[in-house]
Amino acid sequence: MWQIYPGHPFILQGFEAKFYLELIYGFLNLFLEAADENLEASDCDVSTGCIILDNATVKQKVYLISFCLSALLDPNIPPPQLTHILEATVYLPFAYLQEEIEKEIENQEYIMKQENDRQNYWEDYFSLFYYRRMADQAYRQLILPLNIALDITHSQDLEMETVEEFQQYYQEILSFSYESTDLQEWTDRITSLAHHSVLGDDEDFQITSIAPQLVDGATDVALNMGITDEYLSNKLPNVSDEEYEEALKVIYKYYDQICRSILWNNAYFCIFVNPVQHQLRKHTFFLSSFEVTSTESNGDG
CA–CA separation, 76 vs 2, rounded Å?
11
> Strand 9-10 relative to strand 292-294: parallel, antiparallel, unpaired?
unpaired
8 A C-beta contact, residue 183 and residue 98:
no
Q: Which is more confidently placed, 36 or 187?
A: 187
Could you read off the pLDDT of 121-145 as tens digits, one per residue? Answer: 555 556 778 999 999 999 999 988 8
Per-residue model confidence as pLDDT tens digits over 14-63: 999 999 999 999 999 888 887 766 666 556 678 898 888 998 999 999 99
Burial code (b: 16+ CB inside 10 Å, e: under 16) for 243-256 equals: bbeebbebbbebbe
Give the E-state strand segments of the chain in sequence order.
2-3, 9-10, 283-285, 292-294
- Summarised one tens digit per residue, pLDDT across range 76-96 is 999 998 888 999 999 999 999
The amino acid sitting at 89 is T
